[in-house]
Amino acid sequence: MTEKYTYQKINALACCPKEFISECNKEYHAIISGVSAKIFADRSKKIVLLAGPSSSGKTTTAKILSEKISMLGGKAYTVSLDDFYLPKAVGYPLDENGNPDYECVEALDLELLHSSLSMLSETGKASLPVFDFVTGERTENAKNIELLENDIIIVEGLHALNPVITDTLDEAKLMKIYISVSSRVYDESGEVFLSKRDLRFVRRAVRDSRFRSTPVERTFEIWQSVMRGEDRYLFPFKDRADIKINSFHPCEPCIFAVNAISLLKEITDGEYFEKSEQLINKLGLFKNTDYSLLPEDSLLREFTG
């Protein structure tokens, strides 16, 4: 997916929507199949660290990786770093404005995380927690894992490549992966039409509305903190990855356009109005494609349902 796409080219391909979507999906699955084969070929790699910014598709990619590993004869367990959040009662570090900083690595229970991953790396066994974001509470020893010879664990989250985490583990047993939307959409003159962050924001706005009943204005507010967190805690470490995955699907502006425009029109004034208008005008140029055409195993289903 390193090819440059203009919105004109995307619209031309969207004239045959089913074929366009199918080709995007096949290409992405082929990429993940290649990554899975590389992981499985080196049996010393027991822990796969999968990091990426918000709305990059980490959760679905971890699931697809797991399925591909199973097809090769192994088993992959997925662990989210979010399950290692400190309990609400303990409290979180504060940002420069005095607000809880949920994006910083210190918001995780690093002592528990280090001990859990070390046990998995050294013995193949561990009992892991599960965090409930509704209550802000963590259930200890909620998930028991025992790795057999061909099994691996996929640890996914914003901080998975942070040296605070990786440097406590045996490097020889790690496979480090960075995933993000690494493509832009251009106009006819070669200027950036939709940036990488624009594309991820559209994904997030659609997902937040569909799965979390979150108004788009609130998504904009959260997005400011998310971007600060990415700049501070993720992007400085992305080049530590052994493998980089581009999760951009050329069909996605067509898939998300109508829904995203409807959400963005809810903003009629305020600090996010100008950006909303810009996105509305740009997304309005894409050929509408019904997301019901998405295959069930499409990464984009993480955002549309």
Question: Rounded to whole angstroms, how far apart are CA atoms 194 and 259?
Answer: 17
Given strand 192-194, what is the order of strands in its sheet? 5-6, 185-186, 192-194
Look at strands 5-6 and 185-186 and give their pairing.
parallel
pLDDT of residue 36: 96
DSSP state of 160: T
Q: In CATH, what number does 5-304 get?
A: 3.40.50.300
Q: 112-141 burial string, b = 16+ CB within 10 Å, else e?
A: bbbebbeebbeeeebebbbbeeeeeebeee
Report the chain (305 residues): mean pLDDT per 10 consecutive residues.
Answer: 87 98 98 96 91 96 95 93 91 84 92 94 93 89 91 95 94 96 96 98 97 94 93 96 98 98 97 98 97 96 95
Exposed, middle or buried: residue 2 (CB in 10 Å: 0-12, 13-18, 19+)? exposed
pTM over 0.85: yes
Question: Rounded to whole angstroms, how far apart are CA atoms 99 and 161?
Answer: 25
pLDDT of residue 134: 79
Alpha helices by DSSP H, the chain: 7-13, 17-41, 58-71, 110-123, 163-166, 196-212, 216-233, 252-264, 273-283, 301-304
Structure tokens at 239: 């080049």
Question: Rounded to whole angstroms, how far apart are CA atoms 255 and 288?
Answer: 7
CB atoms within 10 A of CB 204: 21
Question: Rounded to whole angstroms, how far apart are CA atoms 16 and 121?
Answer: 48
pLDDT of residue 89: 82
